[in-house]
Structure 1
């Protein structure tokens, strides 16, 4: 994934302390300019509504865990290995979760991950953000879309999960209400992932308060 876009991207005049607002900004400037009818639709109002309105339930969470992709990239687990900690579904409307180490001005970020699961055995946290797309697998980049990475990075800073030994960040893709074979996966403790998103966040107008709590990689200058 190319990072040069952030050097020339104009900072918003009024940045908002919400992960999806930050992700919207990343989306706006990280992708090449599109022509009308290009079919690139990873982030639009219809997709957001569809995502919240119906494709998220416990049955589909269980199905996701049992897919070949999940078992290859995350590990062989059964649904009973995971407990559901948070679900942002159309009918549940949970309270936003605080990420007090990420500030825009003096305001900490609050956000609603789609799904948060915790492993019963090793306490690993899995955060899932679901996106819909019309793109075919061959047109989806292997290293993911920057806006999805940015939004999940924000969620990895949620106070409730800072003590987890590891946080897995899964960008799960859907097409026509069916799981796409390709997904995106980042790990909170990955230095390059963390540094990349910090750079974008600071360009956006945010600041990161270093966390000394167990499980969080703390970047240092140099």
Structure 2
């Protein structure tokens, strides 16, 4: 039957014209909202994975060189039961997982040396400041500055649209499905909302000032005391299968909060979203449909020794001249 893989699901929030909305009955809208919440929760808590439709036409696997025609189920979109024998053999032998996306390769010693040579002159005592500095170390080769700035503008739109269309996995929904998960912190900066309360991390200091952080979302499982910290990003670029260092650096900071430290098990999650506009219908009946889609969800253990050492060293370079960065490479 082949290896067991997470089911891929499309997470797209639609925002049509007024005429489009009038065509849907309240019951249809209710079912759509419930479906979005269920799929969103399934991806968030790890039983399903999002389907990225932006670059689904990747043709050649970067690792084994097999083409779509050789594999049929390229990128898992048709499942292991449809794979050819060559495709299956490559996967089951461990030679390749047939993920077409490239990996963002980082050599720690090289990255740290470059970071030391490009220390910020006036570091800001915020996790976002740390993440922006990390981005500056590689950003010209992996996307444009305007793409990142667009991401800042779209973050509130992502939350507002998810909430308005029933996509927000909040405590009301979690209780309704009898889940043990609860939303403990919501740090998304939304328009017309009271100032978000920053969390201070006393043992991480920049110029003597405690680091201030505002995680997008923090969930906690009341039964197992597991934690999940989520960071939202927006991009139309190709997504490396392991995302980008600035995402993980920011999430590493969030994992140092007292709230996160009190959890027995912790995972940090990078979510990547994108939006586009589509037209449907003909002539006078044409309408606009805007879609906001979850393209990727990647999770990591921020307490893994190598992960923690690397970003601890980078933060030390950012904040105080790189003493721990030198120690890491010895």
* TM-score interval (norm. to shorter): 0.7 to 0.9
CA distance 1:8–1:86, change in 2 (3 Å): same
Matches within 5 A, 1:71-220: 80-89=179-188, 90=190, 91=193, 93-135=195-237, 139-176=238-275, 177-180=292-295, 182-206=296-320
Match of 1:62 in 2: 169
Q: 1:6 aligns with which of 102, 112, 136?
A: 112
CA gap 1:200/1:30 in 2 versus in 1, 3 angstroms? farther
Q: Which moved more, 1:11-20 or 1:87-96?
A: 87-96
For this pair of structures, how many residues does the alignment match? 189
What is the CA distance between 1:39 and its match in structure 2? 5.9
Which position in structure 2 is the counterpart of 1:29? 137
Closer, same or farther: CA 206–19 of 1 in aligned 2, 3 Å? farther
In 1, the alpha carbon distance for the partners of 2:214 and 2:227 equals 15
Residue aligned with 2:132, SS: helix
Aligned to 1:193, the other structure's residue is in SS state helix
CA contact (8 A) 1:52 1:88 kept: no
- Three-state SS of the structure 1 residue aligned to 2:313 is helix
- After superposition, the Cα gap between the structure-2 partners of 1:96 and 1:147, relative to the gap in structure 1 and judged at 3 Å, is same
Counterpart Cα distance in 2 of 1:53 and 1:32: 26
RMSD: 2.7
How far apart in 2 are the matches of 1:61 and 1:192? 33
Superposed displacement of residue 187, structure 1: 1.0
Contact 1:131 1:173 in 2 (8 A): yes
1:145–1:93 Cα change, 3 Å: same
Structure 2 gaps, min length 5:
1-104, 171-176, 276-291, 322-327
Superposition deviation, residue 166 in structure 1: 1.8
Q: After superposition, give the CA deviation of every residue in 1:133-153 in whole Å (9 maximum; x if it has no partner).
A: 102xxx311222000000000
Residue 155 of structure 2 corresponds to residue 51 of structure 1 = yes
Greater gyration radius: 2
Gaps of 5+ in 1: 64-77, 208-219
Q: Residues 145 and 103 (structure 1 numbering): CA distance in 2 closer, same or farther, change over 3 Å?
A: same
Alpha-carbon separation, structure 2, partners of 1:149 and 1:40:
18
Give the direction of change, closer, same or farther, for the CA distance of 1:206–1:178 in structure 2 (3 Å limit). Answer: farther
TM-score by length of 1: 0.75
TM-score normalised by structure 2 residue count: 0.52
